[in-house]
Structure 1
Amino acid sequence: PHDILSGNIIFNHTPNYAFVSNIFTDWRWLTIIFMFLFIFSLGFFLWKNLIKNNYNNSFLLLSWLALVLGGSYFISWFILSGDRSLVRRFDLGLAFIFIISMVYLMSFIFSKLNLYNILGKISLIVFLILFSWFGTMTYASGPDMRVVSQTEYEVAQYIWTTGYNEVETKNQKYCVLADTWVLLPLESLSQGNIVGGGFPIDYQFNQVDRVELFNKFLENPEKKDLEKAFSLTGAENCWYLEKLENLKEENIDKLTEIFVSQPKEIAGFAIWNIEIEK
């Protein structure tokens, strides 16, 4: 399961672990219908203001803004390459344009109807129901990412209170090799002292070295991996923790040998700690 990075303005590819089945999400084709409706409304909005010359300065400005944003979005995603730091911020702008164009289309339709007769009233009610359904369906799909679990918070609290809370934290180096979902509450508990477990963070907030070491410890831990962790962080002691259910029996033995200590079991996690040899 993964997210669609480009074009997820109207609908999003929700991962399996975040998908919640309910009346609003069981039949997903309704999203496609709304997508074409939004695209049609945008086309009508541009046609009315750029080709038919509506001469409304506000709508004319929004029309040109839609063309500029749409063109930039297409070029950045499908022609250029790289991190695309700017175009990722265009989603909200384009979503705003889509909403404006939809409201514009509806106002045009209602201007042709008599809202005081039965047909006009039914049309208004149907529009309100459909628009409300679409909005609810969007939020009902749930978040893409999970939240920190109680056990992850507890083990982060253990690391902070046991390993660092009683120690002077100013200018201290840290080494906590763990999953991101443990490091997030640890950063909060340490009031921002332990960020990313103490490992290097690049300009895109990635931690390639930490992730690589974490996966290596999970698959085939070696003494040199621990030495690399000390080298990257500059810390005097290092923690490694992972859920017991994810650890192979033979790797638990290897880790125990590398850290020269038996693991502590806290909230379903195995935790090792070692100080650098001086």
Structure 2
Amino acid sequence: MQDRLSWAQAACARVMRPLVRLALGMGLKHPHLESMLRDLLLEEATRLWQRQGVAAPNISQLAVTTGLNRKDVTARVRRPADPLPHTELSAAAKTFTRWFQLASQDPALQRLPVAASEQGLSFEDVAREASRGDVHHRAVLDELMRLGMVTRVDAAQVELTAEGFVPTADLQTTLAFLGDNLRDHAGAAVSNALGEGPLMLERAVFAEGLSEEDCEALHRLMRQRWTALHRELVGELTESVTRSGGQGPRRVRVGVYVFLGDREGTQE
């Protein structure tokens, strides 16, 4: 049992090291991280009991599972509000994805008139379809322009300029994507390690002793391959959502990453 705990602690430390670097880089201190960890322990312990059939675990059960004292558990029973947007629910993200798919099939659609007309597809048409009419197309366009994903050609036309919905121009949205992507990547690995269900695809290759030029060449190769795969995935996912009417109970996130760094002993 002691070995098991030591192994798990070491694995958590490896995963958390870049997150601690992010926290320090953004100005978070130990009290912020400790409070966050206590909240997460409580939330995950609640889910653990619920998966075992206990709909509303009591204070004692949560205290024993988390190691927090009863007073602390009692003070934290209300889940804190999440100040980051949910990236998968964004009307801008949905519109961008749909537009990207259409432009991949027909490059002429990279540029669209803003307003709907009888002359062909418009940005208004794409936004209305993607957001199901819940958000005005002008508001969606303003958000995509603010995020640097779209540019105006003139007063009547706009052009898709980004190759993926990665809005680096906005810190809040960038952090939201970082959180969502790393959460689900780690979620797949943890589910596999705990044997919670069928194994999910979660693989990587590693090499060291490479030159800077070789690393950059590999990075370019992965970007090229991902661009092609991304277009195929968007098409498949769009068809899947259409078949289910968007009402299915499951969700999926597919991603890829490349990390370039110094050899171990120099940087972890």
Q: TM-score, normalised by structure 2?
A: 0.24
Rg comparison, structure with higher value: 1
Q: TM-score, normalised by structure 1?
A: 0.23
Structure of greater relative contact order (alpha carbons < 8 Å, 6+ residues apart): 1
